[in-house]
Amino acid sequence: MVGYHRYINEYVKSVPVPIIDPDRSDQDRSDEKKVKSLIEQYNKYLQGGKKPEASSHPKDVSTHGFLTHLSKCMLEYRDSKESLNLTLLDYLGNYKNGQELPDTGLLQPSESNILNATTGEYEKLRIGDAKAERDGTTVTISATARYKPEKEDEFETDTYGYTETEYHEAFTLMSLTEKEAGLIAAFVPVAVRKADGFAGFRDNATKTNSLLDRLQAITLPDPDDVADDLERYTKTKKRADELDAKIEKTDQLIDETVYGLYALTDEEIKIVESAVQDD
């Protein structure tokens, strides 16, 4: 019958009803208010507000309740981050090739450094990793170099005898379109890590090819062909960055609150953090 609502016991069972305990003390209610206040401050802190300061008294119930909330938030943030697909190539799929890096925008060379070298100067020279730093419509490409030093004892080397440098600037691309700048910033580090000829890139230098030559040989996807795919990836990456920021702030807040409860000195905190990093 239209407009007629029938209620049965099975429907009512699933309705949440708050439990009111008349025997709760005023202190219990006060602690609840403190926790709610700390949570409100925490939510504002995530948006750029002032950091909440919980009590450092070990018997303060509100501090323990606040820590419980922070722990739950951490789990939620981490689960959300892990559920995101941050693999750029999964978004791009099959695409049309575009231009090589030097033909995109206006290339400005950087000062000469190890990236300009060949295997005639460094044994087994190759690129370790690369990054692309974007500033509006300008993107700067930097990379690390790996090689086998003549005197291993004078360098930190891995199990294969390679040492790796810090990041050195390779070149800067200016006067790019928004599409080109976004694509280069996202695509170049991926191409370098994939290597083996992907997108025209190989990570090893030769007697005639420098690491800079290898970087400049990277072929980009056609920006127009991958525009929608890149936008979807960019939105996902932005969400991941937001979660990372929340995780970092929350993790730091948990540490500081626990340090306060245990009344750790600066020296003791350094020892604890060093031990955690070693693990």
> Over the stretch 31-66, which tens digit does the pLDDT of each residue have?
899 999 999 999 999 999 999 999 888 888 899 999
Nearest to 192 by CA among 129, 119, 103: 129
Residues 156, 162, 164, 168, CA torsion sign: positive
What tokens does 119 get?
A: 């295997």
Neighbours of 63 (CB within 10 A): 22
pLDDT at position 279: 60
CA distances from 205 to 116, 128, 136, 209, 248 (A): 10, 12, 31, 5, 38
Q: What's the pLDDT at 241? A: 97
Is 168 in contact with 143 (CB distance < 8 Å)?
A: yes
pLDDT in tens, 83-133: 999 999 999 999 999 999 999 999 999 999 999 999 999 999 999 999 999
Average pLDDT of span 70-88 = 97
* CA-closest candidate to residue 100, choices 221, 210, 228: 221
Which of 124, 216, 144, 139 minimizes the C-alpha distance to 184? Answer: 139
DSSP state of 59: T
Please state the separation of Cα 203 from the chain's center in Å: 24
The pLDDT value recorded for residue 115 is: 98
Measured distance CA(52)–CA(153) in Å, rounded: 49
Backbone angles phi, psi at 127, to 5 degrees: -85, 135
242-263 confidence digits (pLDDT tens): 999 999 999 999 999 999 988 8
Quick check: 224 and 210 in contact, CB under 8 A? no
How remote is the C-alpha of 50 from its chain's centroid?
Answer: 23
From residue 172, alpha-carbon distances to 48, 100, 130, 199 in Å are 32, 14, 13, 19
The pTM for the full model equals 0.81
Whether the CB-CB separation of 173 and 138 falls below 8 Å is answered with yes
How do residues 183-199 score in pLDDT, each as one tens digit? 999 999 999 999 999 99
3-state secondary structure of 164: strand
What is 12-25 written as a DSSP string?
HHTS------TT--
Strand boundaries in the chain, DSSP class E: 97-100, 106-109, 123-135, 138-148, 163-164, 168-174, 219-221
The pLDDT, as a whole number, for residue 1 is 45
Task: Let me know: does 81 contact 75? Beta carbons within 8 Å.
Answer: no
Distances from the Cα of 55 to the Cαs of 36, 67, 80, in angstroms? 14, 11, 30
Check residue 151 and give its pLDDT: 87
At 195-223, the pLDDT tens digits run: 999 999 999 999 999 999 999 999 999 99
- Evaluate if residue 18 carries a pLDDT over 90: no
Pick the closest to residue 193 from 147, 125, 130 (CA basis): 130
Q: What is the pLDDT of residues 149-172, one digit of tens each?
A: 998 889 999 999 999 999 999 999
